[in-house]
């Protein structure tokens, strides 16, 4: 069990470009969550999946953001037409069946939009 | 209004000292948890504590749900305890466990 992994760890992009992040949850974990964390703040919920179904999306998730989990394993988060306000740490977490309160976080992807 | 509020925002301790971190939450918050974010950004869950008291080594936590607060105790602090401590709870009430985090307490333990 290698824990939740996220790639890339860092991404620098120019305003207006599209970016995609990947999250690999812990094996057998059925739920996968995405959070965003800006400097000096706690993480904020973006969206979550149970298996391949996206069950809830925060109002923070504008229409420039899309997340997928096509086979119920890894997930991707895409941001289109990035803005400077998108600069943040993007965190992924997964939780096991029957213990969904037990969220295991990945190391995050730090996005900087210039 | 604020649903998960933490205090103090910053704390500096000498190694070996004890501390208490507090989390106040609204009555809509369930499934309270405590996390530690190390200086490299990794979030580690410390306690799932919707009510009662739990202990794990030098750390313990108590949640009094009827009074809507939780406390995290750190005894004999070490430099490795440095980082940000967050409490978080589930406001959805729908079993999604989407967590709402407080702003955290930044702890610095100096040798």
Q: How many CA atoms lie within 13 A of A4 on its CB side?
A: 30
Whether the CB of A91 is below 8 Å from some CB of chain B: the reply is yes
Is it the case that residue B10 has pLDDT exceeding 80?
A: yes
Instruction: Identify the bridge partners of residue B43 per DSSP, sorted by sequence position.
Output: B37
Which burial class, exposed, middle or buried, applies to B10 when counting CB atoms under 10 A from its CB (0-12, 13-18, 19+)? Answer: exposed
Restricting to A residues 56-85, those with a Cβ less than 8 Å away from any Cβ of B are 56, 58
Whether the CB of B7 is below 8 Å from some CB of chain A: the reply is no
Confidence bin at A99 (pLDDT 50/70/90): confident
Q: What is the pLDDT of residue B94?
A: 67
Give DSSP secondary structure letters for A74-91: -EEEEESS--GGG-EEEE
How far is A20 from A44, CA to CA, in rounded Å? 19
* Per-residue buried b or exposed e for B11-42, using 16+ beta carbons within 10 Å of the residue's own CB: bebeeeeebebebbbeeebbbbbbbbbeeebb
Contact A33 B40 (CB under 8 A): no
> How open is the CA angle B51-B46-A103, to the nearest 5 degrees?
90
Is residue B87 within 8 Å of B32, Cβ to Cβ? yes
Percent of chain A surpassing pLDDT 90: 84
Name the average pLDDT for chain B. Answer: 92
Smallest CA–CA distance, residue A80 to chain B, in Å, is 24
Is it the case that residue A63 has pLDDT exceeding 80?
A: yes
Smallest CA–CA distance, residue A99 to chain B, in Å, is 10
């Amino acid at each position: 069990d290698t824990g939740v992994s996220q790639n890339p760890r860092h991404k620098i992009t120019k305003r207006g470009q599209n970016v995609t992040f990947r999250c690999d949850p812990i094996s057998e974990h059925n739920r996968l969550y995405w959070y965003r964390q800006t400097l000096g703040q706690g993480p904020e919920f973006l969206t979550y999946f149970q298996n391949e179904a996206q069950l809830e999306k925060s109002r923070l998730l504008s229409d420039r953001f899309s997340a997928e989990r096509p086979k119920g394993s890894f997930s991707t988060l895409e941001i289109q037409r990035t803005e400077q306000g998108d600069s943040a740490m993007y965190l992924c977490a997964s939780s096991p069946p029957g213990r969904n309160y037990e969220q295991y976080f990945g190391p995050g992807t730090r996005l900087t939009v210039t | 209004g604020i649903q998960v509020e933490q205090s103090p925002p910053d704390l500096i301790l000498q190694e070996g000292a004890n501390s208490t971190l507090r989390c106040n939450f609204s009555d809509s918050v369930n499934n309270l948890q405590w996390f530690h974010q190390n200086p490299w950004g990794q979030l580690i869950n410390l306690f799932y504590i919707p009510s009662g008291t739990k202990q794990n080594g030098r750390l313990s936590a108590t949640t009094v749900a009827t009074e809507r607060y939780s406390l995290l105790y750190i005894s004999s602090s070490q430099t490795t305890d440095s980082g940000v401590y967050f409490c978080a709870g589930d406001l959805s009430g729908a079993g999604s466990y989407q967590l709402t985090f407080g702003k955290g307490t930044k702890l610095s333990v100096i040798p």
